[in-house]
């Protein structure tokens, strides 16, 4: 498996995800302008977290990692078997997530008492949060089916449209805020409900836009002769250990939410806005690389091509560092400038900018480890070693909870961001240690000369960003700020690539620039 194969698949997903994430930033900008970092945005984020927690399992967690290798295996046997597997899981997922969604609607008040106990002291905020939870409950079912379709299409080497599908969630959210807020106010409802309606409809659209491709590739709807096939059982068996890690994740997020809502009004929103910015490179780069690696690694491993599987993993590992390190420099060194330009308007004031930027810096330093985490987890599922990510998850979450409980009362909400960074670092390092033993990898796999060149270019770029590239920024007119920020980001990226070129990584730089240029020309 050569570098270009992994890079080509990754760039297809990355460009599609780029458009989606940009629209996500637009969504966050509109939300910040309409509602700021206030009690009602805290209410929405708490309500959204409940179906989103379950989405992590069904859409982006254990299910996704377990499904793709099994579907690849079924498709290698025959298309009829893979088609039956897909639709058996479609109906099973629909029933399971549908029942859970109904349960969320029924028990919404009890869930909010658990996730945000401080809201009980504010009856209006509590009622808004409960109503938002009920509105968004079906989101779980829609986005889980969207993930199933995405897994099928990725397995068929179709990457662009599935990665673009989340853009429709962002479009629906923006349109709902712009179009429904006034209508809701007119009829006596709080405009924040427009966000809940947009999220629910966005999840539906995320699934529907992939259906034409599913039909195009011959996976027409069917009622399976047997739901509980050997392949279905295998997926459920692979998911099983993930439930333990998921339960641990729930406890972790529960503690984080309680601590955030108990610090200061707006803390949940500041953490959300900063995490959204952090998720921009994670979604565009790390998730794309991880998904690409899952397909290529699984295919090689199922064919008993151990050398090809290791080569795919190594190229993904290097590509992750190559692409996320300049993003780390940009997010850390330009945190205030980025938050100011993107969010500071309307109800989002200067104080919110400073708080959000502080949290963003804490998240940013964990970016390379988050990228590795996105590679290791699906790799272990392809190896039928799904217990390892679960053990790593539980271990890191226990650390995170202890860290946050101990230090948040003394240092405030930013510790919650730092705790997330330290826990994912611990998680990624533990999994790297295990995978080195399982695949008999040398230390040179992880600490090659190429990796040290990337780290060196990163360090030098950060020094320049903190010294030479700093300009008088906040007193400028808005358009000047946008121009200066664009120049600073471009200069950091260009300097990083030039340094790599000088250090001898010319093939990688050329390949990266060539593929990106080709994809944008085609669009």
**What pLDDT does residue 520 have?**
45
**Of 68-72, 167-171, 236-240, 388-392, which range is least confident?**
236-240
At 384 the three-state DSSP class reads coil
Is the predicted pLDDT of residue 252 greater than 80, yes or no? no
**How many whole angstroms separate alpha carbon 410 and alpha carbon 283?**
32
Q: How far apart are CA 78 and CA 213, in angstroms?
A: 19
pTM of the full predicted structure? 0.70
Q: What mean pLDDT comes out for the span 404-431?
A: 89
CB of 349 closer than 8 Å to CB of 408? no
Element (H, E) at 401: helix 387-411
Cα gap 235→6, rounded to integer Å:
25
Number of other CB atoms surrounding residue 403 within 10 Å: 17
Tell whether the model's pLDDT for residue 243 goes beyond 50.
Answer: yes
pLDDT at residue 251, as a whole number: 59
> Over 50: is that where the pLDDT of 8 sits?
yes
Q: DSSP characters for 239-270?
A: HHHHHHHHHHHHHHHHHHHHHHHTT-TTHHHH
Considering 25-34, 148-157, 185-194, the range whose residues carry the highest mean pLDDT is 185-194
> Percent of the chain, pLDDT > 90?
28
pLDDT for residue 410 is more than 80? yes
**% of the chain residues with pLDDT over 70:** 86
Q: Mean pLDDT score of the chain, rounded to an integer?
A: 83
The residues spanned by each domain of the chain are 39-241
Residue 512, pLDDT > 60, answer yes
Residue tagged 């427009």 (tokens): 194
Model confidence at 490: pLDDT above 60: yes
pLDDT-derived band at 316 (thresholds 50, 70, 90) equals: confident
Q: How much is the average pLDDT of 241-263?
A: 63
Instruction: State the average pLDDT over residues 459-474.
Output: 86
Distance CA 166, CA 160 (A): 11
What are the tokens at 349?
């004031």
Residue 523, pLDDT score? 47
Residue 61: per-residue pLDDT: 54
Residue 11's pLDDT is what? 67
Residues 6+ apart with CB under 8 A from 269: 36, 37, 38, 41, 42, 45, 352
Phi, then psi, of 126 in degrees rounded to 5: -60, -45
Per residue in 360-386, pLDDT tens?
999 999 999 988 988 888 788 778 887
Q: Are 499 and 492 spatial neighbours (Cβ–Cβ below 8 Å)?
A: no
pLDDT in the model for residue 85: 86
CA-to-CA dists, residue 503 to 28, 300, 330, 499, 508, angstroms: 39, 32, 21, 6, 11
In sequence order, what are the residues at sequence separation of 6 or more whose Cβ sits closer than 8 angstroms to the Cβ of residue 7?
315, 319, 511, 512, 515
Average pLDDT of the segment spanning 244-271: 68
How much is the pLDDT for 175? 93
pLDDT at 499: 94
For residues 239 and 93, give the distance between their C-alpha atoms in angstroms, rounded to a whole number: 13
Rounded-to-5 percentages of helix, strand, coil across the chain? 85, 0, 15
N-to-C CA span, the chain: 27
* Structure-block tokens of residue 99: 């029942």
Q: What pLDDT score was predicted for residue 509?
A: 78
Out of 83-92, 106-115, 464-473, least confident range: 464-473
Q: Select the more confidently predicted residue: 211 or 384.
A: 211
* Arithmetic mean of pLDDT, 88-117: 89
Per DSSP, 397 falls in state H
Looking at residue 52, its pLDDT comes to 73
In whole angstroms, give the CA distance from residue 31 to residue 481.
21
Euclidean distance between CA atoms 427 and 391, whole angstroms = 9
**Ranges 67-81, 392-406, 418-432, 455-469: which has the least confidence:** 67-81
Q: Which residues contact 142 (CB under 8 A, 6 or more apart)?
A: 200, 203, 204, 206, 207
CA 504 to mean position of chain CA atoms? 32
Q: How far is Cα 164 from Cα 431, in angstroms, rounded to an integer?
A: 30
Q: 128 pLDDT exceeds 90?
A: yes
Q: Are 389 and 376 in contact (CB under 8 A)?
A: yes
Residue 336: the pLDDT is: 93
Evaluate if residue 194 carries a pLDDT over 60: yes
User: Kindly report the CA angle at 43 between 42 and 46, in degrees rounded to 5?
Assistant: 85
């Amino acid at each position: 498996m050569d570098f270009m194969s992994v890079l080509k698949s990754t760039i297809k997903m990355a460009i599609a995800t780029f458009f989606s994430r940009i629209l996500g930033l637009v969504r966050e900008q509109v939300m910040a302008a309409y509602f700021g970092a206030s009690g009602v945005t805290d209410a929405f984020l708490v309500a959204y977290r409940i179906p989103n927690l379950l989405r992590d399992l069904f859409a982006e967690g254990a299910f996704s990692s377990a499904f793709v290798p099994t579907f690849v295996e079924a498709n290698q046997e025959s298309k009829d078997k893979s088609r039956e597997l897909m639709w058996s899981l479609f109906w099973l997922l629909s029933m399971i997530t549908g029942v859970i969604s109904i349960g969320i609607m029924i028990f919404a008040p009890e869930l909010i008492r658990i996730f945000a106990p401080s809201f009980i002291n504010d009856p209006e905020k509590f009622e808004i949060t409960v109503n938002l939870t009920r509105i968004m409950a079906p989101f779980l079912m829609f986005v889980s089916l969207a993930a199933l379709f995405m897994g099928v299409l990725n397995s068929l080497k179709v990457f662009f449209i599935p990665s673009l599908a989340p853009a429709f969630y962002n479009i629906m959210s923006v349109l709902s805020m712009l179009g429904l807020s006034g209508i809701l106010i007119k009829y006596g409802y709080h405009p924040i409900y427009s966000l809940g309606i947009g999220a629910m409809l966005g999840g539906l659209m995320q699934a529907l836009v992939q259906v034409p491709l599913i039909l195009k590739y011959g996976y027409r709807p069917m009622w399976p002769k047997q739901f509980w096939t050997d392949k279905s059982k295998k997926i459920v068996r692979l998911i099983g250990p993930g439930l333990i890690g998921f339960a641990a994740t729930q406890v972790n997020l529960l503690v984080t939410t309680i601590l955030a809502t108990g610090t200061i009004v707006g803390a949940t929103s500041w953490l959300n806005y900063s995490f959204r910015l952090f998720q921009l490179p994670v979604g565009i780069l790390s998730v794309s690389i991880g998904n690409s690696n899952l397909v290529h690694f699984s295919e090689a491993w199922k064919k008993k091509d151990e050398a090809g599987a290791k080569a795919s993993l190594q190229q993904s590992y290097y590509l992750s560092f190559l692409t996320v390190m300049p993003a780390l420099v940009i997010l850390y060194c330009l945190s205030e400038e980025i938050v100011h330009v993107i969010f500071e308007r309307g109800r989002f004031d200067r104080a919110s900018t400073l708080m959000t930027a502080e949290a963003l810096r804490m998240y940013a330093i964990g970016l390379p480890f988050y990228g590795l985490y996105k590679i290791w987890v699906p790799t272990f599922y392809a190896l039928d070693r799904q217990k390892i990510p679960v053990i790593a998850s539980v271990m890191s979450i226990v650390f995170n909870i202890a860290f946050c409980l101990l230090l948040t009362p003394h240092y405030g909400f930013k510790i919650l961001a730092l705790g997330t960074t330290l826990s994912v670092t611990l998680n990624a390092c533990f999994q790297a240690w295990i995978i080195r033993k399982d695949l008999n990898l040398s230390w040179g796999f992880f600490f090659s000369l190429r990796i040290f060149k990337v780290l060196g270019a990163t360090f030098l770029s950060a020094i320049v960003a903190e010294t030479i590239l700093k300009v008088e920024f906040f007193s400028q007119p808005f358009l000047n700020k946008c121009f200066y920020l664009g120049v600073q980001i471009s200069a950091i990226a260009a300097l990083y690539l030039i340094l790599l070129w000088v250090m001898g990584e010319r093939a990688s730089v050329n390949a990266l620039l060539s593929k990106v240029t080709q994809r944008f020309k085609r669009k």
